[in-house]
Amino acid sequence: MKKIIIIGAGPAGLTAAFELLKNGETDVTIIEQDNQVGGISKTIIHNKNRIDIGGHRFFSKSDWVMNWWINQLPLEATKVAVNLKYKGQIKNKINFSKNNNLIKNKELVMLIRSRLSRIYYGGKFFDYPLKLNFNTLAKLGFYKTLIFGISYVVSKIKPIKPEKSLEDFFINRFGKLLYLKFFKEYTEKVWGTSCAKISADWGAQRIKSLSITKTIIHALKGIFGLKKNDTQTSLIENFIYPKYGPGQMWETVAEKIINNGGKIKLNSCLNKINIDTNLVKNISYRKGEKEYELNCSHLISTMPVKDLINASKNRWPLNTINIANKLEYRDFITVGLLYNKENFKEKLEDNWIYIQEPGLKVGRIQIFNNWSPYMVANINNIWLGLEYFCNDYDALWKSSDKELKNLAQKEVVKIGIVNSEKALDSIVIKIPKAYPGYFGDSYKNFSVIRENLDEINNLYLIGRNGMHRYNNQDHSMLTAKEAVNQIINKTNDKNKIWSINIDDEYHEEGNK
């Protein structure tokens, strides 16, 4: 009988456990070091207000993922939902009648939300992704529009070849001047290093399908009413979202896993993985002061690759261990700020505002009310999330909660969206290893780690940190699905897992 252990109760780990149980496996255990499920997709509640860490739009080009979500949390029955279905905007994504998903459940539901993101640059707000409309052109002015256009044409005539860095990638698709004005500042805030030092792999994975040409086509489709069948994921205008945040999805899945015989061990930290030849034999984990050991027939890992290698370091050559220990990660801070609606100079309809302004440390701002009105306890308040990107050795990460709250309150006033220097309430949330880095010598040598790990027949790497790849939750789920298929069908082709999210068009940057 199979004894399957999964490390991590984020979207990938929970999807794997759910699918294994659905396919008849009975001995499935998840080891999770946090005190709640969801990983970076969890929802944190503070004084009845809810925080979505990083923002998670529920949209995928995979019909399987879209239907999987809706089968967990049915779509709220609204005129908007019916209209979108028959306009074709969610056609072939959700089969309403067959799955009986269009229901009137008051709590366990998905909402359909409007998508709006903007860039803050030069004291002005621009649509993100950039739209070629009168509003954008008026803000840029004739001269900038002209020189940006010339810069773009030059990049098409003389593209940089080969594309070695993320900077090359951006310039080839947008021109040097647009890159400098609308991409460089924010991207370097996220990664803490020059775009010239980041691998072009990041762009190829995250935004390869977005370009000025497609922006023009999208604008023309809007003018002539041809957008209804547009599947360009970076330009979607609606998405589905759990009523009480992304954590509601994964808490619902976790409950179903437990009800079907699966086990989820929270507050449990993996300690050691015992590998004999090319098979994982058992693992040990700590919970409080006690240590436990579990035998396993298969191990599915979503934990950071660096930690996985160190937990089984007796198995690896010294070179592999050294490469793993030097892998780069970016850490993430959200500062939640609560204000009365009266403190806002204008009504904000954005999900995100990207801060492309030099001199400000904040990278992006979420307006939680616009993800779901149920994220906020009082309808008269606006609940913001200011996002900061750093490393765990940076001064920003080491700052006290009081210092971070003061910084966030000053910056939101400086941007000009709030007129009060003091928030009604605030909270600081720090997430280590939120983003696997696409830079550094170790990343260049990541294939060495992959080859070593792929040799272990019953070990499957899935998810964002599990594969050291900046997957969104839908692609993390698809890696879980593929790993489960191989375990159930007794096949072993790790390349199929690694190939997910290589040739697919992708969401806008930051869509988790």
Written as six digits, the tokens of 54 are 């990083």
d(C-alpha 128, C-alpha 353), whole Å: 9
Q: What is the pTM of this model?
A: 0.87
What are the tokens at 138?
């008026």
Give alpha helix (H) positions in 392-444. 395-398, 401-415, 441-444
Q: Which helix (H) or strand (E) holds 285?
A: strand 279-287
Q: Where are the domains of the chain?
A: 4-41+249-327+441-498, 57-115+236-244, 117-234, 329-436
- Asked if the peptide bond before residue 129 counts as cis, ω within 30 degrees of 0, the response is yes
Q: For domain 329-436, is the CATH number 1.10.3720.10? A: no
Bond prior to 11 in cis (omega within 30° of 0): no
Tell me the torsion sign for CA atoms 94, 97, 101, 106. Answer: positive
List the chain pLDDT tens, one digit each, 512 residues: 899 999 999 999 999 999 999 999 999 999 999 999 999 999 999 999 999 998 999 988 899 999 999 999 998 866 555 555 444 444 444 444 344 444 555 789 999 998 889 999 888 888 876 666 667 777 788 888 889 889 989 998 999 999 999 999 999 988 999 889 888 888 899 888 999 988 888 766 666 555 555 554 444 444 334 444 444 444 467 889 999 999 999 999 999 999 999 999 999 999 999 999 899 999 999 999 999 999 999 999 999 999 999 999 999 999 999 999 999 999 999 999 999 999 998 999 999 999 988 899 999 999 999 999 999 999 999 999 999 999 999 999 999 999 999 999 999 999 999 999 999 999 999 999 998 988 888 999 999 999 999 999 999 999 999 999 988 899 999 999 999 999 999 999 999 999 997 545 434 444 45
The pair of structure tokens assigned to 417 is 């969206």
The set of residues, in sequence order, having a beta carbon less than 8 Å from that of 103 and lying 6+ positions away, is 74, 75, 77, 109
DSSP bridge partners of 30? 6, 264
> Residue 418: CB partners within 8 Å, gap ≥ 6?
339, 343, 344, 345, 412
Distance CA 12, CA 480 (A): 5
127 and 508 Cβ atoms separated by less than 8 Å: no
Q: What is the pLDDT of residue 508?
A: 43
For 298-323, b/e burial (b = at least 16 CB within 10 A) is bbbbbbbbbbbbebbeebbeeebbeb
Q: Let me know: does 483 contact 497? Beta carbons within 8 Å.
A: yes
pLDDT of 127 reads 82
CATH topology of domain 4-41+249-327+441-498: FAD/NAD(P)-binding domain (3.50.50)
Strand partners, 365: 353, 386
